[in-house]
A and B are shown apart, each in its own frame.
Chain A
Amino acid sequence: MIGVALRRVGSAVPVLLLVSLITFGMMRLIPGDPAAAIAGLSATQREIEQIRADLGLDEPFLMQLLHWYGGLLQGDLGRSILMGKGVVAVTFERLPVTLGLSAYALVLTLIIGLLAGIVAALRQNTAVDQLAMMFAMIGISVPNFFLGLLMIILFSVRLGWLPTGGYIPFTEDPLGWLRSSTMPAISLAMLQAGLLARITRSTMLEVMRQDYIRTARAKGLPARQVVFKHALANALIPITTVVGIIISLLLSGAVVTEALFSIPGIGGLLTQAVLNRDYPLVQGGLLLVTAFLVLVNIGIDMLYAFLDPRVRYE
């Protein structure tokens, strides 16, 4: 178990290196100049040159990269040009908002996806199955921003039940957070829930055909124990892998959803950073988000080992 964790942490290093290299290079490949953006429209060429020198942008590409990596090794991700604050501080201000929304969406995804998938598998080829799979298909096909818009029109504009947007921190008002996050979370979750429902269904059908399920029934176990203990425990192994992917998809999907519901999450922050060519913030922010995702995936692998004794004893 510890071996699994160590191996995974080791393999995370090249991933982070590659991601940092790509974002660093990309930011410098796209047109636009952070110095000009800071200096404003009326600035002279000299002033711009001065700012560029202050930011270290006049150095050769390789030197800039080495400087940045040097800072990283000391735990210094630099300062945001736009915000004038440390990258870590800015990111950690906004990341929890996105994580909270994604976590809410993940809970909805798991409840809806697993339940619909299991029920559809147990009632294979019946109306229940077809209905569940039809909703899954709709969830997968309808873009989440469109679903979000439809919900705003219905629940906010027409019925006035929920706010059209805005964000209330959980720590200030949990109920307010729930009200302001429900529609964004639903619109974010539907695609993933549809995906999860379909995968859960096919996995459960596959598992229910296995010999050990026949054994469990031959022992006289109640049907619910056969399904929820013997079948689900095995089905959860491949499902867990999918959930790992779903968490990444939720985080990236949150960018669009946050924009639609005007939620001050990491998506909006990074979009602003890219538009303003805030190099340190884009590089550092993306690195932190990547590191978080790598961590999630390590967690998933640990969960995998927990669920499957064959992995654990390898």
Chain B
Amino acid sequence: MSLLDIRGLTTAFQTERGEITAVEDISFSLEEGEILGIVGESGSGKSVTALTVMGLLPSPPARIASGSVRFAGQELVGLSDRQMQRIRGPGIAMIFQEPMTSLNPVFRIGEQIMETIRAHERLSPRALRDRAVRMLEKVGIPSPARRMDDYPHQLSGGQRQRVMIAMALACNPRLLIADEPTTALDVTIQAQILDLLMDLRDEFGMAIMIITHNMGVVAETADRVMVMYAGRVVEQAPVETLFDAPLHPYTRGLLDCVPSLSAEKPRLVAIPGSLPEPSRRPSGCRFRPRCGLAVPACAAAIPPLDPQGPAHHVACIRATAEVPA
């Protein structure tokens, strides 16, 4: 049994112009201790997927139109907020893109970590504080016992993200969702935070779902990659396979956007056009208007996610077509 198993999930938002689907019919699973990278442009549905799993989307306007989210065998779709509270923290924890604004500015960081533990476990004040200090130590905050009494504004962005990680891991979750955890940070800090996440995975053994638009982050961390485009999964593969033999034209486009020092790729290639608005998605394959390989048949139907080799799935009828020179 997978730790997280998502089947046919569709999340819709009520808007003034009718209902739009941010995430449509996506299926994937995550094993214990595995790191799954979810890649895509802004608006591709990555964050909505994560927030749906957490049950953190405001409803209304959001609603799960169909599908199932099973976590450790338990169906999460349809749970009350109170039931979800017990899952958030010890089951699934989450860290966010903006460490600057994700911590509450008026409470000490120690208190913010301790209240997380307090919400899920009965500990003596002493044990509570010890655990919080130990968590700060684990995420590499120097002199953690003293920093317990600091307020968020006294910490740098990188330190705040470390505190967020300490808070997320304080209840020893089985799954950590990291939504663009390094996007807002300096490049040098980005690498530190990614290293930290990998180390903590090895130590705590939790699975990680890392959401990013950065192929470099995926290459560095993920075991497996899922590429999303316009609310749908277009390709899924182990990380080596995806980088060695990407099949979906969109995935290839994303990889062409990664700067390389090798001589074969003298210039960066940008994907032409932009992500379609949810209300103006094209018929058939949604990537069709931006795709160099598109043929009339691409407009006929949304291509299904078909297996193309071991653990490699792709949603493209032109997946095996030759790339034009």
| Chain A interfacial positions (CB closer than 8 Å to B) | 210-212, 214-223, 225, 229-230, 233-234, 237, 307-310, 313
B90-115 at interface with A (beta carbon < 8 Å): 90, 93-94, 96, 98, 101-107, 115
Question: Provided the pairs A225-B119, A310-B151, A313-B151 are in contact, do residues A215 and B86 lie with their beta carbons within 8 angstroms?
Answer: no
Residues of B within 8 A of A218 (CB): 54, 56, 88, 93-94, 96, 168
Contact A212 B115 (CB under 8 A): no
Residues of B within 8 A of A221 (CB): 85, 115-116, 119
| Chain B interfacial positions (CB closer than 8 Å to A) | 54, 56, 81-82, 84-90, 93-94, 96, 98, 101-107, 115-116, 119-120, 151, 153-154, 164, 167-168, 171
| Bound CA–CA A307/B140 (angstroms) | 29
| 26 examples of A-B residue contacts, CB within 8 angstroms | A212-B104, A214-B56, A215-B96, A215-B102, A215-B104, A218-B94, A219-B116, A219-B168, A220-B87, A220-B88, A220-B120, A221-B115, A221-B119, A222-B85, A222-B119, A223-B82, A230-B107, A233-B107, A307-B106, A308-B105, A308-B106, A309-B151, A310-B105, A310-B153, A313-B151, A313-B154
Nearest CB in chain A to that of B170: its residue: A219
Cross-interface CB contact of B102 among A212, A222, A234, cutoff 8 Å: A212
Contact B105 A234 (CB under 8 A): yes
Task: Count chain A CB atoms within 10 A of each CB in B86, B88, B105 and give the residue with the most.
Answer: B105
| Bound CA–CA A220/B94 (angstroms) | 10
Rounded to whole Å, the gap between the CB of A25 and the closest CB of chain B is: 45
Rounded to whole Å, the gap between the CB of A296 and the closest CB of chain B is: 23
Nearest CB in chain A to that of B100: its residue: A211
| Bound CA–CA A308/B104 (angstroms) | 11
The majority secondary structure among interface residues of chain B is helix
Contact B107 A217 (CB under 8 A): no
Question: Provided the pairs A310-B153, A313-B153 are in contact, do residues A212 and B105 lie with their beta carbons within 8 angstroms?
Answer: yes
Cross-interface CB contact of A215 among B81, B82, B90, B103, cutoff 8 Å: B103
Question: Provided the pairs A211-B98, A212-B101, A214-B56 are in contact, do residues A219 and B89 lie with their beta carbons within 8 angstroms?
Answer: yes
Contact B56 A216 (CB under 8 A): no
| Bound CA–CA A219/B98 (angstroms) | 16
| Bound CA–CA A212/B103 (angstroms) | 5
Residues of B within 8 A of A310 (CB): 105, 151, 153
Residues of A within 8 A of B103 (CB): 212, 215
Question: Provided the pairs A214-B96, A220-B116, A309-B151 are in contact, do residues A230 and B104 lie with their beta carbons within 8 angstroms?
Answer: yes
| Bound CA–CA A310/B54 (angstroms) | 31
| Bound CA–CA A222/B84 (angstroms) | 10
Contact B89 A220 (CB under 8 A): yes
Contact A219 B153 (CB under 8 A): no
Rounded to whole Å, the gap between the CB of A215 and the closest CB of chain B is: 5
